[in-house]
Amino acid sequence: MTLEAGICPNGHVSYPTHPRCPDCGEPQDETLDLSARTAEVVTWTKSTATPPGVRQPNTMAIVEFDLTDEDLTDDFVRALGQVTTEHVETGDEVEPVYVDQLRDPAEGIKEPESQDWDGYRWDPV
Amino acid sequence: MGVAVIGASMTKFGQRDAWLGELLSQAGEECLDDAGVTPDDVEHLYVSNMASGEFEGQTGVMNLLAHDLGLMPAYSERVDQTSSSGGAGIYEAWQSVASGASDMTLLVGGEKMTHKTTGEATDIIASITHPTEYKHGVTLPSFAGMTARHYLERFDAPRESLARVAVKNHKNGVDNPNAQFQKEITVEKALESPIIADPLRLYDFCPITDGSAAMMFTTEEKAAEIADEYAVVSGISGATDTHVVHERDDPTIMGGVVQSSKDAYEMAGLGPEDLDVAELHDMFTILEFLQLEGIGVAEQGTAWELAMDGTTAKDGALPINTSGGLKSKGHPLGASGVAQGVEIYEQLVGEAGPRQVDAETALACNVGGFGNCVITTIMEAAE
């Protein structure tokens, strides 16, 4: 149950984490917890044709966390997630709220044990 | 070594009773006939297919096809690069001939999808996403919805411009007997169709499709000897962008399109101004804009104007998707990139029938995932 971004020695940030930094290839050796921060909606969609085990409709947004308060090379990091409401607007401020199951893993094609299914939804502030 | 295409074929795309093996062998046999090549001549076989195991429980499809067409002992391999498997197959086929490993390479792409429900098919395709994306229920159409909203808001593009892409490609598809839909639509119909991933509606999306397509590759030297008409692969490259879509610096730039087209132009000694016709991967209408910008035909944020002013229409300055595109021809995942190659080949050798445009140089851009991997191929008519 984490919303952790990875940070490499050159100050590049990514969400999710990767063993190597996508920008420079250095190993990511630090993490940054984003769960207590707010973010801004970059874009969103309300998906009405959802796969088995997914809520319908499923509103999702790509949001941007401002990191200018941190001593990092990157000024922001983005993340994709479900939205708690059906409707949201570009530019809206949202905060992450924890959900223990984002979709029903028994219904989809993926092996339920192959990944985790909890995570954060974006809740308009 | 110069590489030529000497034959091409495709099955009817749409809802087919045949399963994958039959679709592949139908396209493969027709391609052998079209190229005037016997099974004994084929040294390499590539089968582009994304998910035969997931869709129908059949794996090892390259062996199925090699045996059905009597190609043994030819080297055979299945190529999976999600929805750019077909383009990746062209790249592999080109490499096999260019390297000298094969003098005659058959490429067949295919997918059987329509027996699954839309939800099941959507889920199989969504399984290509990163686990942190998949768990939120993301689908390829929802990536398209988010990207389209961003594009329209940021560049102040009219919603109608996306509908114009669908209208144009449906109009082109009327002249393609192998297209899934041979039916014109209106802007009004597109704009009033049900919302799938807003702001995108039903007619912004390609259908779910069964079908197969094939191409025959050989050396330019051999082509000159045995073929009446042929085309030359003068530029080809593939590139990979981030797996996680939101990690891209700019949501409207497909890095794989930019890089692969840049490399392909360089190899061919050509630029976007040299193109006479192109097939772009219009799995979603918005992708036609992103690719027109990525391949350098339009500046960022302006490709929508080309849909509005008719530049990309069949009688425009640069016809895009004369085949009907994925939008109207259909999108059997592994077949689509090969079918793009079939269309530009037919345009270059003058076999496109009612779809024929005046073309010496053509480009095909095949996109996997939501721009995760991209193959750009440039072909030219033989002199």
3-state secondary structure of B375: strand
Quote the CA–CA distance of B197 and B148 in Å, as a whole number.
Answer: 10
SS3 content of chain A, % helix, strand, coil (to 5): 0, 40, 55
3-state secondary structure of B209: coil
A25–chain B Cβ distance below 8 A for any pair: no
Q: pLDDT at residue A1 above 60?
A: no
Q: Do B130 and A16 touch (CB under 8 A)?
A: yes
Please provide the distance, in angstroms rounded to a whole number, between the alpha carbons at the two ends of chain B. Answer: 17
Check residue B96 and give its pLDDT. 98
For an interface test with B, give the residue of A8, A45, A77, A121 to mutate (most B CBs within 10 A): A45
Check residue A2 and give its pLDDT. 79
**Which chain A residues contact residue B126 at CB under 8 A?**
51
What percentage of chain B exceeds 70 in pLDDT?
100
Quote the CA–CA distance of A125 and A14 in Å, as a whole number.
Answer: 24
Which residues of chain B have a Cβ shorter than 8 Å from any chain A Cβ?
Answer: 54, 118-120, 122-124, 126-127, 130-139, 141-142, 145-147, 149-150, 153, 194-200, 242, 244-247, 251
Q: How many CB atoms lie within 10 A of CB B95?
A: 17
Q: Do A115 and B142 touch (CB under 8 A)?
A: no
More confident residue, A1 or B131: B131
A76–chain B Cβ distance below 8 A for any pair: no
The closest CB to that of A51, out of B123, B132, B149, belongs to B123
Quote the CA–CA distance of B326 and B336 in Å, as a whole number.
Answer: 7
Cα-based angle B171, B19, B63 (whole degrees, multiple of 5): 115
3-state secondary structure of B253: coil
- Residue whose C-alpha is closest to residue A57's, from B371, B145, B166, B125: B145
- Indicate the burial class of B156 (C-beta count within 10 angstroms; 0-12, 13-18, 19 or more): exposed
Quote the CA–CA distance of B308 and B113 in Å, as a whole number.
Answer: 33
Q: Do B119 and A49 touch (CB under 8 A)?
A: yes
Could you read off the pLDDT of A97-116 as tens digits, one per residue?
Answer: 999 999 999 999 999 999 99
pTM: 0.98
> Which 8-state DSSP code applies to residue B246?
G
A81–chain B Cβ distance below 8 A for any pair: yes
Q: pLDDT at residue B1 above 90?
A: no
Joined together, the tokens standing for residue A43 give: 């874009």
**Pure H helices in B37-158:** 52-56, 61-68, 85-98, 118-126, 131-134, 140-155
Q: Find the mean pLDDT for residues A70-80.
A: 97
**Which chain B residues contact residue A80 at CB under 8 A?**
132-133, 136, 138, 244-246
**Which chain A residues contact residue B153 at CB under 8 A?**
43, 90
- CA A74 from chain centre, in angstroms, equals 17
**Which chain A residues contact residue B197 at CB under 8 A?**
45-49
Domain boundaries, chain A: 37-124
Could you read off the pLDDT of B132-148 as tens digits, one per residue?
Answer: 999 999 999 999 999 99
The pair phi, psi for residue A121, each rounded to 5°, is -100, 160
Q: Find the mean pLDDT for residues B246-271.
A: 98
**Which chain A residues contact residue B118 at CB under 8 A?**
49
Size of interface A-B (CB pairs under 8 A): 122
Could you read off the pLDDT of B66-92 as tens digits, one per residue?
Answer: 999 999 999 999 999 999 999 999 999
**Which chain A residues contact residue B130 at CB under 8 A?**
16
Check residue B128 and give its pLDDT. 97
Q: Find the mean pLDDT for residues B225-251.
A: 97
For an interface test with A, give the residue of B142, B147, B202, B206 to mutate (most A CBs within 10 A): B142
Quote the CA–CA distance of B36 and A50 in Å, as a whole number.
Answer: 46
The pair phi, psi for residue B323, each rounded to 5°, is -75, -15
Q: pLDDT at residue B214 above 90?
A: yes
Joined together, the tokens standing for residue B304 give: 């929508």
For an interface test with A, give the residue of B54, B113, B132 to mutate (most A CBs within 10 A): B132
As a CATH number, domain B3-116+208-226 is: 3.40.47.10
Domain boundaries, chain B: 3-116+208-226
Q: How many CB atoms lie within 10 A of CB B360?
A: 15
Quote the CA–CA distance of B46 and B24 in Å, as a whole number.
Answer: 11
Q: Do B136 and A45 touch (CB under 8 A)?
A: no
3-state secondary structure of B50: coil
Check residue A112 and give its pLDDT. 97
The single residue listed with the structure tokens 């009033």 is B192
Q: DSSP of B151-198, one letter per residue?
A: HHHHHT--HHHHHHHHHHHHHHHTT-TT-S------HHHHHHSPEEET
The single residue listed with the structure tokens 């001549």 is B41
